[in-house]
């Protein structure tokens, strides 16, 4: 049986036949019955394909052949041979644990060899947040004399104004916006299609309305098939995640922001600025769509760090 070091030198690309079928069944279960997002499904598929290939290289092709030592070896392989970050290897172990638990529940396997294998704990990284002036500079960066600039302003205002995930904002249709705009709210669908209502501020509303009136119609007219999407690409289709990331970065660069940011940075800034302004952490949790307040509490650490920085820079007796 090959050890982890030998496996590191092999091309682990071909999943085991029997296990591959079980992996597909598990992913179908996550998609249909658990309502997992396409991004989650894609990440789990990569992790489990890697796991199946790892087992195949060890001569294991059936679920009941797998022992706890094999799962532990896979976890070690991820960290030591592939050099994955703790967060990435932990996610893979979580996927493996869920897979084996599903097989037992589905009676496709008699035992769960991953039950006692714990994912490695990644150090909690504080979310990156911009200060208010930096965010305002980014929001003002788009050229509002162009359709692209109107679209970019709408995207940026929605990200910062609602704290929505990029996937939630890009999934919005025009009808999703118009149904709530008069009442001043927006309905977002988060992980697992979980619905939440978030307030829609005046700046975001003005930006979206300007895009709908002066930008979107011309781009929608160029599409081969009409799209219901609120935010469009120049050819009339729904704006892609990759393109949205590029647009956020481009506008940040145009605003002179010297650090690398993405859509998530505006979400983090939304939460941090709310807490700095005195918002209750439970309210922020609800707005962000966090299942647990523990996740939201990371932002309180950001505000404490900010207080320390201000104190150190401003108080004559800080040092």
Hey, where are the domains in the chain?
4-105, 132-314
Digit-by-digit pLDDT tens for the chain (319 residues) are 444 334 333 333 333 447 888 999 999 998 888 888 888 899 899 999 999 999 998 889 888 899 998 899 898 888 878 877 777 888 899 999 999 999 999 888 888 999 888 887 655 555 678 999 999 999 999 999 999 999 999 999 999 999 999 999 999 999 999 988 888 899 998 766 778 899 999 999 999 999 999 999 999 998 889 999 999 999 999 999 999 999 999 999 999 998 888 898 999 999 989 988 888 888 888 888 887 777 787 777 666 665 566 557 666 665 5
Q: Using an 8 Å Cβ cutoff, are 266 and 159 in contact?
A: yes
CA 251 to chain centre: 20
Query: Alpha carbon of 310 to those of 128, 137, 273, 316: distances in Å?
Result: 17, 21, 15, 11
Kind and range of the H or E element at 311? helix 298-314
Q: Which of 153, 205, 238, 290 is catalytic?
A: 290
Q: Tell me if residue 107 is catalytic.
A: no
Q: Which of 50, 91, 153, 267 is catalytic?
A: 267
Q: Tell me if residue 301 is catalytic.
A: no
Q: Quickly count: other Cβ atoms within 10 Å of residue 26's Cβ.
A: 22
Q: Tell me if residue 268 is catalytic.
A: no
Q: Which of 154, 179, 178, 177 is nearest to 239 (CA)?
A: 154
Q: Which of 191, 196, 241, 249 is catalytic?
A: 191
Q: Tell me if residue 308 is catalytic.
A: no
Q: Which of 186, 180, 178, 128 is nearest to 157 (CA)?
A: 186
Distance CA(217)–CA(236), nearest Å, equals: 9
Distance CA(178)–CA(155), nearest Å, equals: 16
CATH fold group of domain 4-105? DNA polymerase; domain 1 (1.10.150)
User: Residue 190 corresponds to which tokens in the numbers above?
Assistant: 């988060």
- Domain 132-314 sits in CATH at 1.10.443.10
Q: Which of 58, 79, 165, 273 is catalytic?
A: 165
Model pTM?
0.61
Instruction: Provide the 3-class DSSP secondary structure of residue 64.
Output: helix
Q: Which of 29, 46, 243, 264 is catalytic?
A: 264
């Amino acid at each position: 049986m090959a050890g982890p070091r030998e496996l590191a030198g092999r091309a682990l690309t071909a999943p085991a036949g029997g296990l591959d079928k079980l992996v597909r069944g598990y992913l179908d279960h996550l998609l249909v019955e658990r309502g997992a997002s396409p991004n989650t499904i894609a990440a789990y598929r990569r992790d489990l394909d890697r796991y199946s290939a790892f087992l195949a290289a060890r001569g294991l092709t059936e679920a009941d052949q797998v022992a706890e030592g094999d799962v532990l070896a896979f976890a070690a392989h991820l960290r030591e041979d592939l050099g994955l970050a703790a967060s990435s290897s932990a996610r893979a172990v979580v996927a493996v644990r869920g897979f084996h638990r599903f097989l037992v529940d589905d009676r496709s396997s008699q035992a769960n060899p991953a039950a006692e294998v714990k994912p490695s704990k990644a150090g909690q990284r504080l979310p990156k947040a911009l200060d208010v002036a930096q965010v305002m500079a980014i929001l003002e960066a788009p050229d509002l004399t162009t359709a692209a600039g109107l679209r970019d302003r709408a995207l940026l205002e929605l990200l910062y104004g609602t704290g929505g995930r990029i996937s939630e904002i890009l999934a919005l249709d025009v009808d999703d916006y118009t149904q709530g705009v008069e009442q001043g709210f927006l309905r977002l669908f988060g992980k697992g299609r979980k619905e939440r209502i978030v307030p829609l501020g005046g700046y975001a509303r003005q930006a979206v309305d300007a895009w709908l009136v002066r930008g979107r119609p011309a781009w929608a007219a160029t599409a081969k098939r009409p799209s219901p999407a609120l935010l469009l690409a120049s050819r009339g289709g729904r704006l892609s995640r990759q393109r949205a990331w590029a647009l956020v970065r481009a506008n940040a660069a145009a605003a002179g922001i010297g650090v690398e940011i993405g859509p998530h940075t505006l979400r983090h800034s939304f939460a941090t600025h709310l807490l700095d302004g005195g918002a209750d952490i439970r309210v922020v949790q609800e707005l962000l769509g966090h299942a647990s307040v523990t996740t939201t509490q990371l932002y309180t650490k950001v505000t404490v760090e900010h207080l320390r920085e201000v104190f150190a820079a401003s108080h004559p007796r800080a040092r």
